[in-house]
Amino acid sequence: MMRDLSRQLVAAARLLLVLTVLLGVLYPAAVWAVGRAVPDRADGSLLRVDGTAVGSRLLGQGFEGDQWFQSRPSAGDWDGLASAPSNLGPSNPDLLEAVDERRAEVAEREGVDPSEVPPDALTASASGLDPHVSPEYADLQVPRVARERGLSEDTVRALVDRATSGRALGFLGEPAVNVLELNASLERAE
């Protein structure tokens, strides 16, 4: 009986040692190696300008000033720790008031009729951190940004086109413009 117990303890100790090496050393090392093979994704998809990280291509952020393309509104003020929607329903008076205020603000800033303001300029994404705007919203901002930066509208439109990604796999989702990449390219265009 004691012999069986000691055999079982030795087998359990061997199993513990093998699993510790396998799951505590080899597996984490393999995951780390795969992460190094795809550094852009493993490091947070950082966008670097002149060697300095200016943000993540995957997270939206706010931009102050008329010389920048503006992002979608954010329910959590672009706080990555507070990633969440506002949870206000489409008939909620607070949401309706916020949408009306945003519509008037965007229409005034862009010099257009309020009916021309696209929906993504008015509402936050589900995460509140979407880094993209629609090509329509980016196009609406081209004249203002070109004027403020002293660039031609054609130059700015070309930058918008370069920052626009198509549908995933050619048919999923909608074309989108990454605002951080677009604003970074504006800095290089001057």
Strand residues in 44-127 grouped as ranges (E):
46-49, 52-56
Where does residue 17 rank: exposed (0-12), middle (13-18), buried (19+ CB within 10 A)? exposed
Range of the domain at 7: 2-37
**In this structure, are 111 and 58 located in the same domain?**
yes
What count of residues does the chain have?
190
**In this structure, are 154 and 128 located in the same domain?**
yes
Is the whole-model pTM more than 0.95? no
pLDDT in tens, 145-186: 999 999 999 999 999 999 999 888 888 889 999 999 999 999
**In this structure, are 126 and 180 located in the same domain?**
yes
Which one, of 140, 121, 135, 138, lies nearest residue 73 by Cα? 121
**In this structure, are 89 and 22 located in the same domain?**
no
pLDDT in tens, 65-113: 999 999 998 877 766 666 666 778 888 898 899 899 999 999 999 999 9
**In this structure, are 12 and 106 located in the same domain?**
no
SS3 177: strand
pLDDT of residue 41: 63
**In this structure, are 53 and 14 located in the same domain?**
no
